[in-house]
Amino acid sequence: MSQAKESGTGQQERRRALVDATMTAIAEQGFSNLTLAHIARLAGLTAGIVNFYFTSKEALLLETLKSVAEEFEQTVYAALDAAPSSPAEQLQAIVFASLDPGITEPRKVAVWYAFGAEARARQDYQAICGHRDATYFARIQTLCVAIVAQADPGVRVSASAIAHALCGLIDEFWQWILYQGPQFDRVAARGQCQAFLASVFPWAYEFPDHAPGAVFGAVSTPYALRQATATDLPELARLFDLYRQFYQQPPDRAGALAFLGQLITDGASVVFLAEDRDGRALGFTQLYPAICSVAMRRYWVLYDLYVERSARRSGVARALMQRARQHAEETGALRIDLETARDNLAGQRLYEQLGYVREQEFHKYSLPIF
């Protein structure tokens, strides 16, 4: 029984890995050059194994669309269940949930638009998502009707027109997510939605105190990057302690502070910080210098990368790694090396998207010294 369970779990994990790899492949190539061999490579599997789980490429594509559609539906309705019962609060819950980072990850958005862009795929999209889309719009329109009913007598407002406009606004933001990727500013987008709701339903919503004026054709990020100094040690130690706890180490803020302080004082490492608009640290990456004797060149080891939970899926990790690359180029380094766990598929996908190549020629050995 236990072995059967493990086998079933393993099969589910491989199916999820294939769906995840398909999202990546669609985001990179669309439908035109998509092959099962490429998807299998992204998933770390063989093409023969793919055929064991899915009878065809089309079956895998449909499973991928179904997966993102179900996740969107679950996220929106979970937000509705958690929201207060007033129509205004319910509508705002739907709108904000529709911009949730988990369901609007650029790869998932690419899946939606890929099916819409291909004539042969539109019928498949309609079969899987048509009823869901209609139900989603009907819920928004019903809530708009209820909010209009709360207006003063004599106010003329079209609930249907507002529902269409609101869905169009969300769709526009989804397009900018597709264009801008992790750099899209969801905070500003939600502010724009709130400003729209307050503009059309002033009796139900308050206008934001600071109405956002973001132009979504331009890149806007809710964080800034810079090299850490000794004055950053308290915030850096906080993140470093969380990073170590992620790897099942006991909390030790004082130890983290002393360790990092020594490294920075000695110039033994270089640390880059990501900060939000209030100056609070969101994540960091730490680079250690090394030497390649054969090439007679210096290189960097990217040993630490951590983003706190609230800032994940917002492009912080990618931005930190790009800043590390910039530093390597500025210092004339040969390369950057890093290691990651074999089951860290999300990390591997990010590294490969950024141009990192997995080592195939050498084995790594370690000699424990206690």
Tell whether 211 is covered by a domain. Answer: no
Of the CA atoms within 13 Å of residue 118, those in its CB half-sphere come to: 17
- Residue that is written with structure tokens 């949930």 in the block: 97
Q: Do residues 90 and 163 both lie within one domain? A: yes
Q: What is the pLDDT of residues 350-360, one digit of tens each?
A: 888 788 888 88
- Residue that is written with structure tokens 């439908």 in the block: 31
Tell whether 9 is covered by a domain. Answer: no
Q: Domain ends where: 200, 215, 249?
A: 200
**CATH at residue 108:** 1.10.357.10
pLDDT: which is higher, 216 or 19: 19
- Residue that is written with structure tokens 């609101």 in the block: 166
Model confidence at 320: pLDDT above 70: yes
Q: How many domains does the chain have?
A: 2
Q: Do residues 234 and 188 both lie within one domain? A: no
Q: Do residues 257 and 126 both lie within one domain? A: no
Q: Do residues 59 and 160 both lie within one domain? A: yes
Q: Which domain holds residue 294?
A: 223-353
The answer to whether the beta carbons of residues 128 and 109 sit under 8 Å apart is no
Model confidence at 1: pLDDT above 50: no
Q: Do residues 195 and 233 both lie within one domain? A: no
The pLDDT value recorded for residue 163 is 96
Tell whether 8 is covered by a domain. Answer: no
Q: Do residues 69 and 182 both lie within one domain? A: yes
Q: Do residues 327 and 271 both lie within one domain? A: yes
Q: Do residues 187 and 240 both lie within one domain? A: no
The answer to whether the beta carbons of residues 207 and 216 sit under 8 Å apart is no
> Rounded to 10 degrees, what is the CA torsion of 25, 28, 30, 34?
-40
Q: Which range is least confidently modeled, 63-77, 280-294, 308-322?
A: 308-322
**CATH at residue 294:** 3.40.630.30
pLDDT: which is higher, 7 or 198: 198
In percent, the amount of the chain with pLDDT more than 70 equals 92
Could you tell me the pLDDT band of residue 118, with boundaries at 50, 70 and 90?
low
Could you tell me the pLDDT band of residue 190, with boundaries at 50, 70 and 90?
confident
The pLDDT value recorded for residue 2 is 38
pLDDT: which is higher, 67 or 349: 67
Model confidence at 25: pLDDT above 70: yes
In the sheet that holds 281-292, the strands lie side by side as 223-227, 270-276, 281-292, 297-307, 336-337
Q: Do residues 161 and 267 both lie within one domain? A: no
Q: What is the pLDDT of residues 234-283, one digit of tens each?
A: 999 999 999 999 889 999 999 999 999 999 999 999 999 999 877 889 99
Q: Are strands 223-227 and 336-337 parallel, antiparallel or unpaired?
A: unpaired
Tell whether 367 is covered by a domain. Answer: no
Tell whether 7 is covered by a domain. Answer: no
The pLDDT value recorded for residue 115 is 82
In percent, the amount of the chain with pLDDT more than 90 equals 44
Q: Give the burial string for 331-365 (b: 16+ CB within 10 Å, else e).
A: eebeebebeeeeeebeebbbbeeeebeeeeeeeee
Model confidence at 32: pLDDT above 90: no
| CA geometry: angle 24, 100, 315, nearest 5 deg | 55
Q: Do residues 337 and 234 both lie within one domain? A: yes
Q: Do residues 251 and 133 both lie within one domain? A: no
Q: Do residues 194 and 228 both lie within one domain? A: no
The pLDDT value recorded for residue 125 is 82
The pLDDT value recorded for residue 321 is 92
Tell whether 10 is covered by a domain. Answer: no
The pLDDT value recorded for residue 34 is 82
Model confidence at 4: pLDDT above 50: no
Regarding pTM above 0.75, the answer is no
> From CA 313, how far away is CA 58, in angstroms rounded?
28
| CA geometry: angle 110, 48, 352, nearest 5 deg | 45
Tell whether 63 is covered by a domain. Answer: yes
Could you tell me the pLDDT band of residue 159, with boundaries at 50, 70 and 90?
very high
- Residue that is written with structure tokens 């983003």 in the block: 307
Tell whether 35 is covered by a domain. Answer: no
Could you tell me the pLDDT band of residue 5, with boundaries at 50, 70 and 90?
very low
